[in-house]
């Protein structure tokens, strides 16, 4: 995820980390729309272009970006003192997706994967914050990132939605939902084991990223505890991928590491 931190957007530094830890960078997420990034463009097409350049520099195959929001943000001020100002009306990003996206995609070997968005709760109702934010509409884009916790906010089953996306999923953000977003895969209401089994049965060749909130991993606790929780989530995912597609019963939770 590219953000304000210097080390998230320096290809030479990131490649040194790849070599040191022998762990490739397979996907790069553009900066979130509300996060001002020093030296990067403010407009969404420009930020996507900068992210693609970074991905090419570190050998990543995928760039993740979001659907256009119905209410946009304009930044006012300068530097770190900038503030977001809601902006209604014409949406340059949405127009770019309609008019220039295909030509831009053709200029890079990186696969651009647009991501489904969560429901917004207001006055006790679910509201759709983004354009084209249904399974029937998002397939207008050829390559998709399917975010499972975002589907959970709509009360949807990720395995069922996966079957509606016409084989266009090229990246998965995997996390559970229990009223809070981005929980560990084994801890929540979503049957992610079913989704993982379907991915394996389909011969899905993309990456699955565990996208979890820091509090879901007890951030701030000793490293051993955090690593143990990550290992438990990884074991759950591997076991699910080895199960027959659409298992009838949930997988037992992997034991905690001592």
β-bridge mates for residue 75, sequence order:
84
Instruction: Name the pLDDT band for 257 (thresholds 50, 70, 90).
Output: very low
- What pLDDT score does 32 carry? 85
Task: State whether 124 and 236 are in the same domain.
Answer: yes
Task: State whether 154 and 249 are in the same domain.
Answer: yes
- What pLDDT score does 83 carry? 53
For 116-125, the pLDDT digits (tens) are 999 998 888 9
Containing 115, the helix (H) or strand (E) segment is strand 111-115
- What pLDDT score does 112 carry? 98
**Average pLDDT estimate for 169-178:** 98
- What pLDDT score does 135 carry? 96
Output the DSSP codes for 83-111: EEEEE-S--HHHHHHHHTHHHHHTT-SSE
Question: Residue 230 sits in a domain of what CATH number?
Answer: 3.20.20.150
Residue 165 to residue 23: CA distance in whole angstroms: 30
Task: State whether 17 and 82 are in the same domain.
Answer: yes
Task: State whether 31 and 69 are in the same domain.
Answer: yes
Checking if the pLDDT of 258 tops 90, the result is no
Residue 205 to residue 121: CA distance in whole angstroms: 34
Task: State whether 83 and 168 are in the same domain.
Answer: no
Q: How far apart are the first and last CA of the chain?
A: 31
b (16+ CB within 10 A) / e for 143-161? bbbbbbbbbbbbebbbbeb
Full residue range of the structural domain in which residue 24 is found = 1-113
For 14-71, the pLDDT digits (tens) are 999 999 999 999 999 999 876 679 999 989 999 999 999 999 999 999 999 999 998 7
Higher-pLDDT residue of 163 and 83 is: 163
Residue 223 to residue 124: CA distance in whole angstroms: 38
CB contact at 8 A, 27 and 171: yes
Task: State whether 2 and 85 are in the same domain.
Answer: yes
**Average pLDDT estimate for 96-102:** 97
Go through the chain and tell me how many residues it has.
258
Task: State whether 257 and 223 are in the same domain.
Answer: yes
Residue 198 to residue 186: CA distance in whole angstroms: 17
Residue 112 to residue 150: CA distance in whole angstroms: 19
- What pLDDT score does 251 carry? 45
pLDDT over 70, % of the chain: 86
- What pLDDT score does 45 carry? 95
């Amino acid at each position: 995820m590219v953000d304000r931190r210097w080390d998230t957007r320096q290809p030479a530094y990131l490649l040194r980390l790849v070599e040191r830890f022998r762990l490739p960078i397979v996907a790069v997420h553009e900066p979130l729309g509300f996060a001002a990034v020093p030296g990067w463009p403010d407009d969404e097409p420009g930020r996507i272009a900068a992210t693609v350049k970074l991905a090419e520099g570190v050998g990543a195959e995928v760039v993740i970006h979001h659907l256009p929001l119905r209410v946009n943000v304009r930044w006012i001020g300068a530097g770190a003192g900038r503030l977001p100002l809601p902006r209604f009306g014409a949406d340059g990003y949405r127009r770019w997706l309609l008019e220039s996206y295909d030509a831009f995609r053709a200029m890079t070997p990186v696969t651009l994967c647009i991501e489904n968005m969560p429901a917004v709760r207001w006055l006790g109702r679910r509201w759709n914050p983004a354009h084209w934010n249904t399974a029937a509409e998002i397939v207008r884009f050829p390559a998709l990132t399917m975010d499972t916790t975002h589907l959970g906010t709509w009360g949807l089953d990720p395995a069922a939605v996966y079957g509606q996306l016409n084989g266009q999923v090229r990246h998965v953000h995997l996390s559970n939902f229990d009223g809070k977003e981005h929980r560990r895969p084994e801890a929540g209401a979503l049957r992610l084991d079913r989704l993982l089994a379907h991915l394996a049965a389909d011969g899905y060749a993309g990456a699955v990223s565990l996208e979890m909130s820091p509090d879901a991993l007890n951030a701030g606790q000793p490293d051993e505890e955090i690593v143990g929780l990550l290992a438990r989530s990884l074991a759950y995912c591997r076991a699910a991928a080895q199960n027959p597609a659409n298992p009838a019963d949930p997988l037992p939770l992997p034991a905690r590491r001592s």
